Chain A
Amino acid sequence: MGILIQATYFLAAALFILGLKQMSSPVTARRGIHWAGVGMVLATLVTFLAPELSDNPQAVTNYILIIIAIAIGGGYAWVTGKKVAMTNMPQMIAMYNGMGGGAAATIAAVELLKAQGEVAAGAEPASLLGAIGLETLNVAPTSISEAMGTDITILAILGAIIGTIAFSGSIIAWAKLDGRLNTSKLLPQQQLINLVLALVMVGFGVAVFFTGDLMPIVVFFALALILGVFITVPVGGADMPVIISLFNALTGLAVGFEGYVLGNAAMIIAGTVVGSAGTLLTHLMAKAMNRSVSNVFFSGFGTTQVASAGAVEGGGSMKEIQGQDVGIMMAYASQVVIIPGYGMAVAQAQHKVWELTQLLIEKGVKVKFAIHPVAGRMPGHMNVLLAEAGVPYDLIYDMEDINADFQNTTVTLVIGANDVVNPAAKNDPSSPLFGMPILNAEQSDNVIVIKRGRGTGFSGVENPLFLLDNTRMLFGDGQKAVNELIQAVKEL
Chain B
Amino acid sequence: MSDHNYTPKSKVGQWFNDRLPLLTLANHLTDYPTPKNLNYWWTFGGILTFCLITQIVTGLTLAMHYIAHADMAFESVEHIMRDVNYGWLIRYIHANGASMFFLAVYIHIFRSLFYGSYKSPREIIWILGIIIYLLMMAAAFMGYVLPWGQMSFWGATVITNLFSAIPLVGEGIVTWLWGGYSVDNPTLTRFFTLHYLIPFLILGLVVLHIWALHVPGNNNPVGIDIKKPSKDTVPFHPYIVIKDGFALLMFMIVFAFFVFYAPNILGHADNYIEANPMVTPAHIVPEWYLLPFYAILRSVPDKLLGVVAMLSAILILAVLPWLDTSKIRSAVFRPLYKQFYWILVADVLILGYVGAMPAEGLYLLIARVATAYYFLHFLVILPVLGFKEKTLPVPLSITEPVLGGSPNLAAARNKESKIE
Instruction: Indicate, yes or no, whether A interacts with B.
Output: no
